[in-house]
C-alpha cells in the first residue's frame, strides 16, 4: 500500500517512530523513513514521466504527487505520527530510578540518556525500557524526521532528491524509447 503523506488518510500514512519490540534500535527508524523517502522519490519520478508522455493524471495520482512533493520539499508540511510513552530505568545500581518520556524524545539524547534524578548518563544499549500503552498522535515535519535519522544538511539532501528524480525519469524514458 502506497503511503499518501497527507493528513486526511491516517491509516496509510501513520508511521511509528519505533517498534514495540525494538524500542532503542535506531536502525528500525532509519529503515522505515528511508523506505518512505524512496517511495516518495519514485512516485514523483513516475508522475513526471506520465506528464512527459502526455498521460493525464487521475485525481488520486494528483493527490499522491502533491503529498509526496510536500513531504519531501515543504518545511510547513506536517506529518502525523504515533508517539508512545516509554518507561526507562537508570542503569546505575545505586539509583535505578524509573522515568517516563516519549519515544520521539530519544534521538535528541544520542547514545547517552541522562537520568533526571542522579544525572548518570545511561548507555542506550544497556538501559531498560518498557512501552507504556499511553499513545499520542503528534504532528512532525520532514525536517524533524531528517534530524532524527541523521540527515544533517537538508538543502543538500533535497538537491540530491531532485537529482535522483531527474535520473530516474531520464533512465526510464530512455528505456521506453529503446523499446519502440
Task: Report the distance separating Cα 121 and Cα 111, nearest Å.
Answer: 9
Least confident of 12-26, 31-45, 49-63, 152-166: 12-26
pLDDT confidence of residue 5: 54
Q: Is position 19 within any domain?
A: yes
Provide the domain limits for residue 168: 10-179
Cα dist from 11 to 25, 39, 64, 80, 129, whole Å = 24, 17, 15, 11, 27
- Any domain includes 144: yes
Residue 16 domain-assigned (yes or no): yes
- The radius of gyration of the chain from alpha carbons, rounded to an integer in Å, stands at 20
User: pLDDT, tens digit, for every residue of 66-90?
Assistant: 888 988 998 888 877 777 788 889 9
Bridge partners, residue 136, by sequence: 83
pLDDT at position 154 over 60: yes
Residue 4 lies in a domain: no
- Look at residue 60 and tell me if it is in a domain: yes
CA distance 11 to 9: 6
Residue 15 within a domain = yes
> What's the structural domain count of the chain?
1
* Cα of 180 vs its chain's centroid, Å: 39
Q: Distance (Å, rounded) from C-alpha 16 to C-alpha 60?
A: 25
| pLDDT of 143 strictly over 70 | yes
Please report whether residue 99 resides in a domain: yes
Q: In this predicted structure, what is the pLDDT of residue 150? A: 80
Q: Stretch 82-108: mean pLDDT, rounded? A: 84
pLDDT at 29: 64
Give the integer Cα–Cα distance in Å for 146 and 125: 22
Q: How far apart are CA 121 and CA 113, in angstroms?
A: 5
Looking at the domain assignment, is residue 5 inside a domain? no
Query: pLDDT by residue (tens digit) across 35-71?
Result: 888 889 999 999 999 888 878 888 888 888 888 898 8
Amino acid at each position: 500500500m502506497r503511503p499518501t503523506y497527507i493528513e486526511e488518510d491516517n491509516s496509510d500514512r501513520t508511521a511509528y517512530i519505533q517498534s514495540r519490540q525494538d524500542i532503542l534500535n535506531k536502525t528500525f527508524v532509519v529503515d522505515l523513513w528511508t523506505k518512505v523517502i524512496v517511495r516518495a522519490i519514485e512516485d514523483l519520478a513516475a508522475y513526471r514521466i506520465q506528464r512527459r508522455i502526455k498521460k493525464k493524471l487521475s485525481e488520486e495520482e494528483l493527490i499522491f504527487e502533491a503529498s509526496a512533493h510536500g513531504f519531501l520539499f515543504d518545511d510547513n508540511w506536517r506529518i502525523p505520527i504515533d508517539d508512545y510513552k516509554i518507561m526507562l530505568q537508570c542503569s546505575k545500581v545505586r539509583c535505578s530510578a524509573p522515568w517516563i518520556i516519549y519515544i520521539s524524545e530519544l534521538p535528541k539524547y544520542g547514545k547517552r540518556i541522562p537520568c533526571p534524578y542522579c544525572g548518570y548518563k545511561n548507555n542506550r544499549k544497556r538501559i531498560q525500557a518498557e512501552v507504556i500503552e499511553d499513545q499520542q498522535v503528534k504532528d512532525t515535519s520532514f525536517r524533524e524526521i531528517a534530524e532524527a535519522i541523521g540527515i544533517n544538511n537538508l538543502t543538500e539532501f533535497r538537491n540530491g532528491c531532485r537529482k535522483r528524480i531527474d535520473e530516474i525519469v531520464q533512465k526510464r524514458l530512455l528505456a521506453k524509447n529503446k523499446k519502440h
